[in-house]
Amino acid sequence: MTQLAFVIDLKRCIGCDTCVVGCKVEHRLPDGAFRLQVFDAERAPTPRRPQGGHPVASQNWLPTMCHHCSDAPCADVCPTTALWRRDEDGLIVLDKDKCVGCQRCGEACPYDALSFDAHTGTADKCTACDHRRDEGPACATVCPTGAIHFGDLHDTDSNVHRLLATHEHRRLNESSQAQSNIYYLAP
């Protein structure tokens, strides 16, 4: 049984936005649209706000996109089944033909991963680059520090499996019980 997932190494993420740009270019997202964003902790988009004052300071960056939750609230609330979890690999798939743009999904998502495609009036989100399964997601390919990993959680030979077995990791907003499939390694 496959469950595709991301592992993101917060120690190596330098907040350079290469993943954001790579995703945007790959999917030809129009101006103002993003499927992947990088925040610093506690959500503070540019200018990045570190914690603490001078000279004691710390700052981490947080890439986030669709978490392809195993118990996705978006799929739960979608009135037209436009959002559904694909059994064979665990990705949350959005069928824009079925979407009526009610934005219940965006409201329900604990990770703000859903945005709005103004061209079609439908929801929009990360697809884990389903159209290029061999190369893997664009964000992982372009990250210059190799902070983003993608693969099958249940494949013991995969990077993601190995990293989770050997590193301290967390998911965001764990109490949402959405069962996120983005695991973050300690910063």
Applying CB under 8 A, which of residues 65, 92, 111, 150 lies at the interface with other proteins? Answer: 111
Binder of other proteins out of 101, 163, 164, 179 (CB under 8 A): 101
Q: Which residues 6+ apart lie within 8 Å of 32 measured at CB?
A: none
Q: How many CB atoms lie within 10 A of CB 153?
A: 20
Q: Whose Cβ is closer to other proteins: residue 115's or residue 158's?
A: 115
Within 58-97, which residues bind other proteins (CB under 8 A)?
58-60, 62, 64, 76-77, 79-81, 87, 97
Label residue 112 left, alpha or beta by phi (over 0 means left) and psi (-120 to 50 means alpha).
left
Q: What is the DSSP string of 43-61?
A: T-TTTT--BS-SSS-B--E
2 binds other proteins (CB under 8 A): no
CA dist., res. 111 & res. 187, Å (int): 19
Span of 150-158, 159-167, 173-181 interacting with other proteins by CB under 8 A: 173-181
To which H or E segment does residue 169 belong? strand 169-170
List the one residue from 31, 88, 134, 157 that touches other proteins (CB under 8 A). Answer: 31
Beta strands in 12-163 (DSSP E): 37-40, 61-64, 83-85, 92-94, 115-117, 122-124, 148-152
Among 141, 155, 163, 167, the residue binding other proteins under the rule CB under 8 A is: 141
In the complex, the smallest distance separating the C-beta of residue 24 from other proteins, rounded to whole angstroms, is 6
Choice between 28 and 156, CB closer to other proteins: 28
Assess 30 for contact with other proteins (CB under 8 A): yes
Judged by beta carbon, residue 162 or residue 171, the one nearer other proteins is 171
Region near other proteins per CB under 8 A, out of 110-118, 150-158, 159-167:
110-118
State which amino acid sits at residue 112.
Answer: D
